[in-house]
């Protein structure tokens, strides 16, 4: 069982990919998920990791994503 964290939601795919690359560089596994809400496309960046959620949160916030939060299971 791993932790999943919402890092950000972007209206531009390139920005989401840049965020995911930044996280990868910080040693955090990140995926970009495409979605849509009320007819508008968006891309969310989800970080995942194992172990303590607080450690993952520190890594993500350390990479510059202060609004990140853990997703409940």
Say how far apart CA 8 and CA 31 lie, in whole Å.
Answer: 11
pLDDT digits (tens, 9 = 90+) for 8-37: 999 999 999 999 999 999 999 999 999 999
**pLDDT higher than threshold 80 for residue 73:** no
**Predicted TM-score of the model (pTM):** 0.87
pLDDT at 9: 96
Other C-beta atoms closer than 10 Å to the C-beta of 22 total: 17
- Cα dihedral across residues 21, 28, 48, 10: positive or negative: negative
Cβ atoms of 43 and 10 closer than 8 Å: yes
pLDDT at 53: 79
Say how far apart CA 55 and CA 62 lie, in whole Å.
Answer: 10
């Amino acid at each position: 069982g791993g932790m999943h964290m919402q890092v950000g939601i972007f209206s531009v795919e390139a920005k989401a990919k840049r965020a995911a690359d930044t996280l990868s560089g910080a040693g955090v596994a990140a995926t970009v998920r495409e979605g849509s809400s009320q007819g508008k496309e968006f891309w969310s960046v989800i970080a995942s990791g194992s172990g303590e959620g607080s450690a993952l949160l520190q890594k993500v916030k350390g990479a510059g994503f202060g609004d990140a939060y853990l997703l409940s299971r």
